[in-house]
Structure 1
Amino acid sequence: MPHLTIVANIHAKPDQVDLVKAELQKLVPITRQEKGCINYDLHQDNSDPTHFVFYENWESRELWQAHMNAPHLQAYSEATAGKVDEFVLNEMAHID
């Protein structure tokens, strides 16, 4: 079975960029240690500082789902409630 690629686009409210960025950065080292995580890379748009992108690869959808239910993701959701304008997540498959 092919790996699962996740592309998550997060748009912080303009007055909440620093808080959202700090909370996103907290996720990186914890998530990279999770079972099934191949890579978990956070990016910030050079021309729009409110726009963040996670580019992730997981060994399986089941292991990614475990990540999505992990306590550190719940803590992130609570810390950023009402501070994000838009969140769009795409589950993707690599095409050779």
Structure 2
Amino acid sequence: MSKITLSGHIKVPIEDLDAVLTELPNHIALTHQEAGCITFTVTQDSNNPQRFDVYEEFTNKVEFEKHQARVKTSHWGKVTNKVERFYTITDH
């Protein structure tokens, strides 16, 4: 199986920004603990506080899909339900 890379950004509605910032460290920590996670970063843009750059790599598609499923049912999934996502997913 080949590595999966997701890169891009999210745009957070201003009314959800505090909740996203509060939950982000937990989301990052939980993702780093997942099987198959090679790297995972979410960084707030210094010029636009509503934009967060996202970069992640997983060892294979199965582990990436497990991550996606976990996120949908997590607290992070709840606080980011109105976030706009602009991602490119690459299978290496």
State percent identity of aligned pairs: 26
Q: Write the deviation string for residues 17-54 of structure 1: whole angstroms up to 9, x where unpaired.
A: 22122223221111101110001111111100100122
Q: Which residue of 2 aligns with 1:74?
A: 73
CA shift digits 1:35-86 (9 cap, x unpaired): 100011111111001001221011001110011111x54222223334x2x1
1:14 is matched with 14
Q: Greater shift after overlay, 53-62 or 8-17? A: 8-17
**CA distance in structure 2 between the partners assigned to 1:7 and 1:80 by the alignment:** 17
**Aligned positions, number:** 91
Q: Distance in 2 between matches of 1:81 and 1:2?
A: 29
Distance (Å, rounded) in 1 between the aligned partners of 2:15 and 2:67: 28
Alignment of 1:25-40 (within 5 A): 25-40=25-40
Contact map agreement 1:27 1:73 (CA 8 A) in 2: no
In the TM superposition, structure 1's runs of 4+ consecutive aligned residues that sit over 4 Å from their partners are none
Aligned counterpart, 2:52: 52
The one-letter code sitting in structure 1 at the alignment partner of 2:73 is Q
8 A Cα contact 1:25 1:42, kept in partner: no
* RMSD (Å), alpha carbons: 1.9
In the TM superposition, residue 89 of structure 1 has moved relative to its aligned partner by 2.3
How far has the Cα of 1:92 moved from its partner?
A: 1.8
Cα–Cα, structure 1 residues 81 and 2, in superposed 2: closer, same or farther, change >3 Å? closer
